Amino acid sequence: MIDVELIKYLIGFFVVAIAAFEIAKFLQKKIHFPLITGLILTGILAGSSFLDFIPEYALPKLNFLNEIALAIIAFSAGAELHLEELRSRLKSIKWMTIGQLVVTFVLSTIFVLLIAGHIPFMKDMDFKVQLAIALLFGTIFVARSPSSAIAIINEMRARGPFVKTAMGVTVVIDVLVIILFAISFAIVKTIISGEALDLSFLMVLLLEISLSILLGYIYGQILKLLMQTNLHFNVKAVFIIFIGYSIYLLNHWVSHQVAMAGHHFELEPLLIAIISSFYVTNYTKYNHEFEEIITKISPYIYIIFFTLTGDSLSLQTLINVIEIALILFVVRVLSLIIGGFFGVWAANDDKKYAKIAWMPYVTQAGVAIGLTTMVSNAFPDWGHEFETIIIAIIVINQIVGPPLFKWAIKHVGEAHQKQVYKSSDTQHHKAVIFSLDSISLALARLLKQKGWQVKIVTTQKEHNVNDIDILQVDEYNKNSIAQLNLDNPDSIILLYPDDQKNYEIAEWIYETIGSPNMITRLESGSYANKFKEIGVKVIEPTAAMVNLLDHLVRAPEATNILLGFDENQDTIDVEVRNPDLFGLRIRDLHLPQDVIILSLKRKGNTVITHGYTQLRIGDILTFVGSKDSLEQVRLRFEF
């Protein structure tokens, strides 16, 4: 029988979710508010404590949306853990993980227990119950946000040991925190229900975790079978959502049917989901497609999850607990700082990291909120107050965390952002050509015919050119170029037959006015990589003409991409510099779904590649794909 009431609630909630997404995007654009925070706050306004668009009694019927979202969040966390790429920083990742996990968990738990009398919903509880709840606070404080970390790293084009360690620790901790939560959650339920914490409890807990890991492997096999089919991408995405939800359905059935040694028996759905995702990502050849599907569906899941989380919160409660939330935020940061010092010291890392080692780990998001939601649902008497405090802390973390991580990346010199370049405000495009010869004059006149304002810079003191603006300098250096007052040209063309001179000019321009569209002709291949590093486009005249004609004859579609006729596609050459990719087989690369390898060059020779070809440091690979995906590939290979 169709549940008409449920359909009505679903329609109402999806309308609210769409509005929440648009409001969150507006806040993100206008005041740089984190998207997740915007979704939560909009959900609070739409909930029962304010506008009441989604009444409180409707939330239990919508809880299945939470369970679907939690499964996808766990899938996403498992898919981020690529074992092959963590090899070169394993020691640092190990000790920083231990420092952040143990120190944060222990100090946070102790502090919450000490101030339990000042937390409204905890002050009248027995000591054992206070201890149990403090364990939950400590566990959730450990959780991180891989998605936020990845977004910041991509935005900063960051690469280096500090960033690699931070990313590895963030992902590993989000896996370990689910296991830690499973243990803490079981202890809390046992204490609150009055059951004994005896040997039988430990045996049941061990069996729960072991069975969940086994089921994670089985679900991984199910996902693998799904990936093997020829179903459409979107159909597979729908099946993955159903598979994730089936984990929770299985847990509900088991919890109602099974009891052991007088103890309640439950599976750990998040652990099952994360193990299954980890298996597909690291031990099957379908990792690329699986990750692509998870990446595509996650934004929609997050909109639903964070909006629904906001709907369940009380605005008045949030206001009442903000002081406690700020205190606990400070405590968590202090524990992160201590854990960071320990991690750097234990791993014998560069001591310059010690004071900032905590900064990448402030931000929290999906997993932390997911665990909080589970607590809220399991303990309705005090769970909502617990959830509200945690959400308030996460909102603060979302605001404070990303700027701290960005500052830390810049501080250690691992940011590789392009310099800010201000183009001309005039309606006419401007070009500056360095060198005065027949080619430069022909190009200047052609550009001028097309409405460009063109200047030629030269060291020649005498010339007979009257139709082009000529700027004369005595010699080229950084000061002389700065004094030219080039007025932010759209393009700079370097046409000297001397690669070294062209490179020096390009570098001075890069440091003086930023990085406009710079183009040079290349006399030999020795400067090609140097030019590319500062964004200069290179042309070798003779080879360019011959190769262009050759490709137009043999591969006209590919040539359209090379010439830029296909605006959505591009090609890049990337040198393998990331030591974690050394020895990795091409079939095991985690490439975006829309990127393919065109060729591989090793020591000047083209290598015929296949799935089992192993990469070497210094290999140069040519990729074709969408521009956004190619940028991700470049960052990973040059890390």
Identify the burial level of 604 via C-beta atoms within 10 angstroms of its C-beta, where 0-12 means exposed, 13-18 middle and 19 or more buried. Answer: exposed
* Element spanning 391, H or E: helix 383-411
Residue 472 near residue 461 (C-beta atoms within 8 A)? yes
Q: What are phi and psi of 595, to 5 degrees?
A: -120, 135
The confidence score (pLDDT) of residue 220 equals 92
Joined tokens for residue 421: 């370049």
CA distances to 52, 369, 416, 492, 639 from 516, in Å:
52, 43, 16, 7, 25
The alpha carbon of residue 553 and the mean position of all alpha carbons in its chain are separated, in whole angstroms, by: 41
Q: What contacts 260, CB < 8 A, 6 or more positions away?
A: 200, 204, 207
Lowest mean pLDDT among 119-123, 202-206, 224-228, 267-271: 202-206
3-state secondary structure (DSSP) of residue 381: coil
The confidence score (pLDDT) of residue 40 equals 80
The confidence score (pLDDT) of residue 190 equals 80
The confidence score (pLDDT) of residue 217 equals 92
Tokens 């569209």 locate to 517
Q: 61 or 540, which is more confident?
A: 61
Joined tokens for residue 168: 């590895």
Identify the burial level of 286 via C-beta atoms within 10 angstroms of its C-beta, where 0-12 means exposed, 13-18 middle and 19 or more buried. Answer: middle
**125 strand-pairing partners:** none
The confidence score (pLDDT) of residue 525 equals 66
Band (pLDDT 50/70/90 cuts) for residue 88 is low
The confidence score (pLDDT) of residue 516 equals 66
Helices (H), 32-89: 35-46, 63-79
Q: What are phi and psi of 248, to 5 degrees?
A: -70, -35
Residues of the chain above pLDDT 90, percent: 7
Average pLDDT over residues 365-391: 83
**521 strand-pairing partners:** 539
**For residue 263, pLDDT beyond 80:** no
Identify the burial level of 346 via C-beta atoms within 10 angstroms of its C-beta, where 0-12 means exposed, 13-18 middle and 19 or more buried. Answer: middle
Lowest mean pLDDT among 47-51, 121-125, 132-136, 574-578: 47-51
Number of residues that make up the chain: 639
Say what the pTM is: 0.64
Mean pLDDT of the chain: 80
3-state secondary structure (DSSP) of residue 600: strand
Residue 624 near residue 571 (C-beta atoms within 8 A)? yes
Identify the burial level of 607 via C-beta atoms within 10 angstroms of its C-beta, where 0-12 means exposed, 13-18 middle and 19 or more buried. Answer: middle
Joined tokens for residue 189: 């339920």
Average pLDDT over residues 65-76: 85
Q: Strand 430-434 and strand 453-458: pairing?
A: parallel
Tokens 């492997």 locate to 217
Q: CA-CA distance, 152 to 33, in Å (whole number)?
A: 14
Band (pLDDT 50/70/90 cuts) for residue 214 is very high
Q: Reduce the secondary structure of 465-529 to three states and give it as a string.
A: CCCCEEEECCCCCHHHHHCCCCCCCCEEEECCCCHHHHHHHHHHHHHHCCCCEEEEECCCHHHHH
**pLDDT tens-digit map of 594-622:** 777 878 888 767 777 777 788 888 888 88
**For residue 150, pLDDT beyond 90:** no
Tokens 């590093």 locate to 533
What domains are defined for the chain? 4-411 (1.20.1530.20), 418-539 (3.40.50.720), 568-639 (3.30.70.1450)
Q: CA-CA distance, 636 to 581, in Å (whole number)?
A: 9
The confidence score (pLDDT) of residue 26 equals 86
| Residue 512 identity | T
**pLDDT tens-digit map of 483-510:** 777 777 878 888 888 888 888 888 778 7
The alpha carbon of residue 474 and the mean position of all alpha carbons in its chain are separated, in whole angstroms, by: 49
The confidence score (pLDDT) of residue 425 equals 47
Q: What contacts 343, CB < 8 A, 6 or more positions away?
A: 92, 95, 96, 97, 98, 99, 100, 169, 349, 357
